[in-house]
Amino acid sequence: MNLFLEYQKKIINCLKNLDKKKVIQIPSNFNIAVELPPKNHKADISCNAAMVLAKINNKSPINLAEIIKKHLQLNFKEFQDIDIAGPGFLNISFNISFWNDYLTNVIKLNSNYGSNKNKKKKYNIEFVSANPTGPLHVGHCRGAILGDVLSNLLIFNGNKVTKEYYVNDYGGQIKNFVSSVYYRILEVIEKKPFPKNENLYPGDYIIDIAKKIIKKKSIKSFANFEKIYKKLSDESLKLSIQLITENLFLLGVKHDSFIYESNLIKKKMVSKIVKKLEKKNYIYKGKLTAPKGELTDEWKERNQLLFKSTFFGDDADRPIQKADGTWTYFAGDMAYHAYKISRKFEVLINVLGADHSGYTKGITAATKAISNSKVNLICKVSQLVKLFKNGKPFKMSKRKGDYITVEDLIKEVGKDSTRFMMLSRSNDVELDFDFQKVTEKSKDNPVFYVQYAYARINSIFRLLKLNLRSKIKINIKKSNLNYHEIQILKKISEWPRCVELSSNKLEPHRIPFYLYELASLFHAYWNLGSKNKEFRFISDDGELNNYRLALLQALSIVIRNGLSLLGVSSPKSM
């Protein structure tokens, strides 16, 4: 029910009929835009058909617009007026009957209003994938919410989505993590001081993990680290992943699957994909020059296995094997993406942290090589979050380590505010998160302002002792929309377009912006009622305006749908 796409198709069909009748000429392949008119214009939709087709018809856009206007008015009875503006834009206004029908359809569609289930694809969205060495911090938070809401959007539009977490449980960092747990165990049971080693993890959460392992008693003796390493590693990683999933739960995020790098290594999936790429001549032995910023005299050139990623647009070929013969992180990631491709996903989306921006070209190249360019990989980089309070950088408790945890953030401002505000800007720009702003009850707090609009609508229906979801009959003869109601209804009609753009462009930050604008229109209308009885939702004599109630019902549907996509609650009272 995307008004703009619907009328784009209808107007194109009308133009094709005019071509058949020799009224105008159209090229074999052409497209027109049906968009929002300028804000200072009262029209509902705007079309650029006259400008697109002017040259082939050997007419000025204004003259061609007059011809098209005449035929549009004959073919579309719902068009109340068509104004030709600027260089030839057709600015179209709908009549009241159209809006009556539209409002009825919004209410009928209810929770499905805004979804477009014509195109169904199978998506794999990998997000968070933080190293399993401790709790999530604020740096992970933004990407976690971005991945979760992208999943919600794609599912809302009928796609099949797997939300996935890739666990990097292989390599030196894991040995450092397990060693940290081991030394904390010795500290607890033998009173041995924790070593001062920059490679170890100092956070209090390590002590919690150590105490849980001691209490479980699955390891009888801690005398020999190497002997118990495998068992201790398994127990430590299990508890660390449990901690991470608890952090994600606080954010309202739940993954469908966890894929462990160590399992891919055990199944020799890295060596298998390397052999596969060798057959395609994408793997070779060679030397890499020193990376930019690396001191040349400290860089040791050596023959090593390299992936020919430059063949697929990367800046440099990627090493896949270390000097000691073990696989690099990139090699493991190649195997993981090969595993994704083997599961027949049509689109892969990776949500990455700001420190992984240089990684995107390499893994995109690998995906093309593995899938013969048949599988599309999209990398979304989530930029940094800066915390502020009273205009100054804000630092919360760091008892979990040397960073601010997701748990601390949620305790401070709550899940709803965190999720809404983390999407208040595009993922590719840095975000300032102001604690004062997200906790105050004012127009300057977007999440409060949107939720308050929903609560206010509920309060009206409670006062009238009506169910917000009950069927409301509209008397078309008594329908008389005022200017403010038309603006709200027009904004409601933009919701499917907002969902379409957010989903197609993978830009969920459009939804908070839209909801805030919609809520602002409602609150402005509400405030008019305090000065003028004409604009009150409930008259002094208790007479009900069913059309106005239906409008409120439609408004509540859009706010509820939008907040649901964001993973934010819709409170009935505040």
The per-residue pLDDT for range 148-204, each reduced to its tens digit, is 999 999 999 999 999 999 999 988 899 999 999 999 999 999 999 999 998 999 889
Packed helices 204-216 and 172-190: angle between N→C axes, nearest 10 degrees: 70
DSSP 111-159: GGTT---S---EEEEE-----SSS--BHHHHHHHHHHHHHHHHHHHTT-
Ranges 43-52, 340-349, 544-553: which has the least confidence: 544-553
- Alpha carbons within 13 angstroms on the beta-carbon side of residue 258 total 17
CA dist 143 and 125 (Å) reads 11
Work out the mean pLDDT of the chain and round it to a whole number: 91
Tell me if 154 sits within 8 A of 117, measured CB to CB.
no
Tens-digit pLDDT profile for residues 96-105: 889 988 999 9
Q: Are 132 and 167 in contact (CB under 8 A)?
A: yes
Sequence-ordered list of residues with C-beta below 8 angstroms from that of 435, at least 6 positions apart, any chain: 387, 388, 389, 394, 412, 413
Nearest by Cα to 357 from 42, 143, 85: 143
Strands 431-434, 385-389: pairing is parallel
pLDDT band at residue 325, thresholds of 50, 70 and 90? confident
Query: For 428-450, what is the mean pLDDT?
Result: 90
Mean pLDDT of 304-329: 91
- Residue type (1 letter), 409: L
Retrieve residue 276's tokens.
């596969």
* 78 secondary structure, DSSP code: T
Collapsing DSSP states into helix, strand and coil, what is residue 294? Answer: coil
Instruction: Please state which of the ranges 105-114, 414-423, 475-484, 543-552 shows the lowest mean pLDDT.
Output: 475-484
Domain extent listing, the chain: 3-94, 172-251, 446-566
> What helix, strand, coil percent values describe the chain, rounded to 5?
50, 15, 35
Task: Give 399's pLDDT tier (boundaries 50, 70, 90).
Answer: very low
- Identify the band that residue 479 occupies on the pLDDT scale cut at 50, 70 and 90: low
**Sequence-ordered alpha helix ranges (H) in 38-137:** 49-53, 61-75, 96-109
Q: CA angle 548-551-552, nearest 5°? A: 90
Distance CA 496, CA 493 (A): 7
Q: Is 258 helix (H, G, I), strand (E, B) or coil?
A: strand
CATH classification number, 446-566, choose in 3.40.50.11140, 2.60.120.920, 1.10.10.410, 1.10.730.10: 1.10.730.10
Q: What is the DSSP letter of 317?
A: -
Starting at the edge strand that comes first in sequence, how are the strands of the sheet with 34-35 ordered?
A: 34-35, 45-47, 89-94, 79-85
Q: Which tens digits make up the pLDDT trace of 21-79?
A: 999 999 988 899 999 998 888 899 999 999 999 999 999 999 999 999 999 999 999 99
Give the residue-averaged pLDDT of 319-328: 88
Cα–Cα dist 47/91, whole Å = 7
Q: Residue 295's pLDDT is what?
A: 53
What number of other Cβ atoms are within 10 A of residue 535's Cβ?
A: 16
Q: Which CATH class is domain 3-94?
A: alpha beta
pLDDT of residue 103: 92
Q: Has residue 543 got a pLDDT over 60?
A: no
What would the two tokens of residue 21 be? 């009748």
Rounded Cα distance between 225 and 187, Å, is 14
Query: In 10 A of CB 195, how many CB atoms?
Result: 12
